[in-house]
Protein backbone atom coordinates (compact mmCIF):
# COMPACT_ATOMS: atom_id res chain seq x y z
CA UNK A 1 0.00 0.00 0.00
CA UNK A 2 1.39 3.34 -1.06
CA UNK A 3 0.55 6.51 0.84
CA UNK A 4 1.07 9.79 -0.95
CA UNK A 5 1.13 13.04 0.90
CA UNK A 6 -0.39 16.08 -0.74
CA UNK A 7 1.75 19.16 -0.86
CA UNK A 8 0.23 21.94 1.15
CA UNK A 9 0.99 25.60 0.92
CA UNK A 10 2.04 26.77 4.39
CA UNK A 11 0.46 30.18 3.86
CA UNK A 12 -3.31 30.30 4.14
CA UNK A 13 -5.19 31.76 1.18
CA UNK A 14 -5.79 35.48 1.32
CA UNK A 15 -9.13 36.49 2.74
CA UNK A 16 -11.17 39.50 1.82
CA UNK A 17 -12.88 41.96 4.13
CA UNK A 18 -14.74 40.38 7.04
CA UNK A 19 -18.14 41.21 5.52
CA UNK A 20 -21.02 38.88 6.33
CA UNK A 21 -23.94 40.70 4.73
CA UNK A 22 -24.82 41.39 1.12
CA UNK A 23 -25.21 45.18 0.74
CA UNK A 24 -27.99 45.07 -1.90
CA UNK A 25 -29.95 42.77 0.43
CA UNK A 26 -29.66 45.35 3.23
CA UNK A 27 -31.18 48.03 1.00
CA UNK A 28 -33.86 45.64 -0.31
CA UNK A 29 -34.85 44.58 3.20
CA UNK A 30 -35.03 48.19 4.35
CA UNK A 31 -37.22 49.08 1.37
CA UNK A 32 -39.48 46.08 2.02
CA UNK A 33 -39.95 47.20 5.63
CA UNK A 34 -40.79 50.69 4.34
CA UNK A 35 -43.34 49.34 1.89
CA UNK A 36 -45.01 47.37 4.68
CA UNK A 37 -45.04 50.41 6.94
CA UNK A 38 -46.58 52.41 4.10
CA UNK A 39 -49.37 49.85 3.74
CA UNK A 40 -49.99 50.10 7.47
CA UNK A 41 -49.96 53.91 7.59
CA UNK A 42 -49.27 55.98 4.49
CA UNK A 43 -47.36 59.22 4.96
CA UNK A 44 -46.96 60.93 1.61
CA UNK A 45 -43.97 62.80 0.30
CA UNK A 46 -44.25 66.51 -0.46
CA UNK A 47 -45.29 66.92 -4.07
CA UNK A 48 -47.15 63.62 -4.16
CA UNK A 49 -47.43 62.23 -7.69
CA UNK A 50 -45.48 65.18 -9.10
CA UNK A 51 -42.39 63.82 -7.32
CA UNK A 52 -42.46 60.52 -9.25
CA UNK A 53 -40.44 61.71 -12.28
CA UNK A 54 -37.73 62.93 -9.91
CA UNK A 55 -37.83 59.53 -8.21
CA UNK A 56 -37.43 57.74 -11.52
CA UNK A 57 -34.49 60.02 -12.32
CA UNK A 58 -32.84 59.31 -8.99
CA UNK A 59 -33.32 55.58 -9.49
CA UNK A 60 -31.82 55.75 -12.98
CA UNK A 61 -28.86 57.81 -11.76
CA UNK A 62 -28.31 55.45 -8.84
CA UNK A 63 -28.48 52.36 -11.02
CA UNK A 64 -26.06 53.97 -13.47
CA UNK A 65 -23.60 54.89 -10.73
CA UNK A 66 -23.74 51.43 -9.15
CA UNK A 67 -23.35 49.73 -12.55
CA UNK A 68 -20.44 52.01 -13.42
CA UNK A 69 -18.69 51.08 -10.17
CA UNK A 70 -19.20 47.36 -10.81
CA UNK A 71 -18.08 47.67 -14.44
CA UNK A 72 -14.93 49.52 -13.35
CA UNK A 73 -14.09 46.70 -10.96
CA UNK A 74 -14.63 44.14 -13.72
CA UNK A 75 -12.42 46.10 -16.14
CA UNK A 76 -9.66 46.03 -13.52
CA UNK A 77 -10.21 42.29 -12.91
CA UNK A 78 -11.15 42.56 -9.25
CA UNK A 79 -14.18 41.35 -7.36
CA UNK A 80 -17.37 43.22 -6.51
CA UNK A 81 -18.12 40.73 -3.73
CA UNK A 82 -17.05 42.36 -0.44
CA UNK A 83 -15.85 39.24 1.40
CA UNK A 84 -13.56 38.06 -1.41
CA UNK A 85 -9.96 39.28 -1.69
CA UNK A 86 -9.35 42.13 -4.11
CA UNK A 87 -6.64 41.88 -6.72
CA UNK A 88 -6.33 45.55 -7.60
CA UNK A 89 -6.74 48.91 -5.89
CA UNK A 90 -9.16 50.82 -8.16
CA UNK A 91 -9.23 54.62 -8.33
CA UNK A 92 -10.55 55.02 -11.89
CA UNK A 93 -14.04 55.78 -13.15
CA UNK A 94 -16.52 56.77 -10.43
CA UNK A 95 -13.91 55.88 -7.79
CA UNK A 96 -12.26 59.21 -8.63
CA UNK A 97 -15.02 61.08 -6.76
CA UNK A 98 -16.57 58.51 -4.39
CA UNK A 99 -15.02 55.57 -2.56
CA UNK A 100 -18.34 53.70 -2.66
CA UNK A 101 -20.17 54.29 -5.94
CA UNK A 102 -22.09 51.02 -5.71
CA UNK A 103 -23.43 51.80 -2.21
CA UNK A 104 -24.06 55.42 -3.14
CA UNK A 105 -25.97 54.22 -6.20
CA UNK A 106 -28.07 51.87 -4.09
CA UNK A 107 -28.82 54.76 -1.74
CA UNK A 108 -29.96 56.95 -4.64
CA UNK A 109 -32.18 54.12 -5.92
CA UNK A 110 -33.70 53.75 -2.47
CA UNK A 111 -34.39 57.49 -2.19
CA UNK A 112 -35.83 57.55 -5.69
CA UNK A 113 -38.03 54.61 -4.78
CA UNK A 114 -39.46 56.67 -1.92
CA UNK A 115 -40.57 59.32 -4.41
CA UNK A 116 -41.95 56.75 -6.85
CA UNK A 117 -43.86 55.07 -4.02
CA UNK A 118 -44.92 58.50 -2.77
CA UNK A 119 -44.02 57.63 0.82
CA UNK A 120 -41.64 58.99 3.43
CA UNK A 121 -41.15 55.54 4.96
CA UNK A 122 -38.33 54.54 2.59
CA UNK A 123 -36.49 57.72 3.54
CA UNK A 124 -36.64 56.67 7.19
CA UNK A 125 -35.42 53.16 6.42
CA UNK A 126 -32.73 54.55 4.12
CA UNK A 127 -31.06 56.06 7.18
CA UNK A 128 -31.04 52.63 8.83
CA UNK A 129 -29.78 50.92 5.67
CA UNK A 130 -26.91 53.39 5.23
CA UNK A 131 -25.96 53.06 8.91
CA UNK A 132 -25.99 49.26 8.66
CA UNK A 133 -23.93 49.21 5.46
CA UNK A 134 -21.46 51.66 6.97
CA UNK A 135 -20.97 49.61 10.11
CA UNK A 136 -21.27 46.07 8.73
CA UNK A 137 -19.63 46.56 5.34
CA UNK A 138 -17.76 49.81 4.71
CA UNK A 139 -15.87 49.96 8.02
CA UNK A 140 -14.72 46.36 7.50
CA UNK A 141 -13.77 46.97 3.87
CA UNK A 142 -11.77 50.05 4.83
CA UNK A 143 -9.83 48.14 7.48
CA UNK A 144 -9.13 45.38 4.95
CA UNK A 145 -8.04 47.83 2.23
CA UNK A 146 -5.78 49.69 4.66
CA UNK A 147 -4.12 46.42 5.59
CA UNK A 148 -3.86 45.31 1.96
CA UNK A 149 -2.70 48.57 0.33
CA UNK A 150 -1.33 50.60 3.27
CA UNK A 151 -0.43 54.22 2.73
CA UNK A 152 -1.67 54.19 -0.86
CA UNK A 153 -5.20 53.51 0.38
CA UNK A 154 -4.87 55.94 3.29
CA UNK A 155 -3.92 58.73 0.88
CA UNK A 156 -6.89 57.87 -1.33
CA UNK A 157 -9.16 57.78 1.71
CA UNK A 158 -8.05 61.26 2.74
CA UNK A 159 -8.63 62.72 -0.72
CA UNK A 160 -11.82 61.00 -1.97
CA UNK A 161 -15.15 61.19 -0.17
CA UNK A 162 -16.86 58.08 1.12
CA UNK A 163 -20.19 58.99 -0.48
CA UNK A 164 -20.56 62.05 -2.75
Q: What is the DSSP string of 126-152?
A: HHHHHHHHIIIIIHHHHHHHHHHHTHH
User: Which pLDDT tens digit goes with each residue over 86-132?
Assistant: 989 999 999 999 999 999 999 999 999 999 999 999 999 999 999 99
Q: What span, in angstroms and rounded, lies between the C-alpha atoms of 65 and 106?
A: 9
Q: What span, in angstroms and rounded, lies between the C-alpha atoms of 146 and 63?
A: 28
In this prediction, residue 124 carries a pLDDT of 95
Taking a C-beta distance cutoff of 8 angstroms, is the pair 74, 80 a contact? yes
Q: Mean per-residue pLDDT for 70-84?
A: 92
Helix, strand, or coil (residue 23): helix
Q: Tell me whether residue 63 is exposed, middle or buried, using C-beta atoms within 10 angstroms of its C-beta: 0 to 12, 13 to 18, 19 or more.
A: middle
Does position 2 have pLDDT exceeding 90, yes or no? no
In this prediction, residue 7 carries a pLDDT of 41
Q: Mean per-residue pLDDT for 42-65?
A: 94
User: CA triplet 16, 21, 25: central angle to 5 degrees?
Assistant: 130
> What is the value of pTM for the model shown?
0.87
User: Crossing angle of helices 151-159/139-149, nearest 10°?
Assistant: 130
Q: What percent of the chain has pLDDT over 90?
A: 79
In this prediction, residue 145 carries a pLDDT of 95
Taking a C-beta distance cutoff of 8 angstroms, is the pair 14, 85 a contact? yes
Q: What span, in angstroms and rounded, lies between the C-alpha atoms of 156 and 121?
A: 35
Amino acid sequence: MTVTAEATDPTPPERGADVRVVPPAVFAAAFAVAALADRWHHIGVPGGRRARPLGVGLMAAGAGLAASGAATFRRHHTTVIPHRPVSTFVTAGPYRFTRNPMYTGLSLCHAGGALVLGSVWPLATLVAAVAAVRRLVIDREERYLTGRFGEEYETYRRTVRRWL
